[in-house]
Amino acid sequence: MDAVFFGVVVLQVLTCALCFPNGAPASTCVDMMPRHGAIQPQPNPAPYTIQTSSTTFQPGQPITVVIKGPDYAGVLLEARSGSDTAALGTWQTPPSNTKFLLCSENPQGAITHANTNIKNNSTVYTWTPPASAKSIFFMATVAQQRSVFWVNVMSPTLTQSGGTSLDVYNSAERTAAPVLMLLVVLLANVQCLVA
């Protein structure tokens, strides 16, 4: 299915990576394909990988994301889940030379380049997970120059860790209660012995 979708997109779209030097337009949120000119994406695998600060996430706890590889000029970065094309979560203050892109009705739903200045593996993006997703991955389009770009650059999948903090508290409480009871009983016994 993904291969078919990819094939259709590749065949159908006439492309040009940096005909939008000020960032990808909102119309690219779903296919993440630069659309201008007749330039095709570079074949995958891309020379880029997406590294994250963690392989798990908790709602509301920010994750940092780096696109490792050669210097790049253009980028479109989204978090997704499964085969859904919705952009998930909320990106935090964009690093230099990048900006937010409104995707999935979220003004901070994606990140794109703000200009063609160099971005590199010191460019760190910060993303806050939504409450709903159980697992996500990051997906990027990365352009070195207007005619040289890769699509479908993906991170490994990140899974939501544990439950909510409330669940964690409750399970800690469940464990703590018998332990406390035992302590009280032991202390009472010690007191009897001492008295």
Ligand X SMILES: *[C@@H]1O[C@H](CO)[C@@H](O)[C@H](O)[C@H]1NC(C)=O
Q: Measuring CA to CA, which residue among 149, 133, 158 is closest to residue 76?
A: 149
Query: Contact 170/162 with Cβ under 8 angstroms?
Result: no
Residue 108 carries which side chain, given as an amino acid letter? Q
Q: By C-beta, is 104 or 126 nearer to ligand X? A: 126
Q: By C-beta, is 93 or 191 nearer to ligand X? A: 93
Q: By C-beta, is 13 or 48 nearer to ligand X? A: 48
Shortest Cβ 141–ligand X spacing (Å): 18
Quote the CA–CA distance of 125 and 144 in Å, as a whole number. 18
Shortest Cβ 68–ligand X spacing (Å): 4
Tell me the backbone φ, ψ of residue 4, rounded to 5 degrees: -65, -45
Shortest Cβ 171–ligand X spacing (Å): 38
Instruction: Provide the 3-class DSSP secondary structure of residue 25.
Output: coil
Shortest Cβ 114–ligand X spacing (Å): 14
Instruction: Provide the 3-class DSSP secondary structure of residue 12.
Output: helix
Q: By C-beta, is 108 or 144 nearer to ligand X? A: 144
What residues line the site for ligand X (CB under 6 A)? Answer: 68-71, 118, 120-122
Residue 52 carries which side chain, given as an amino acid letter? T
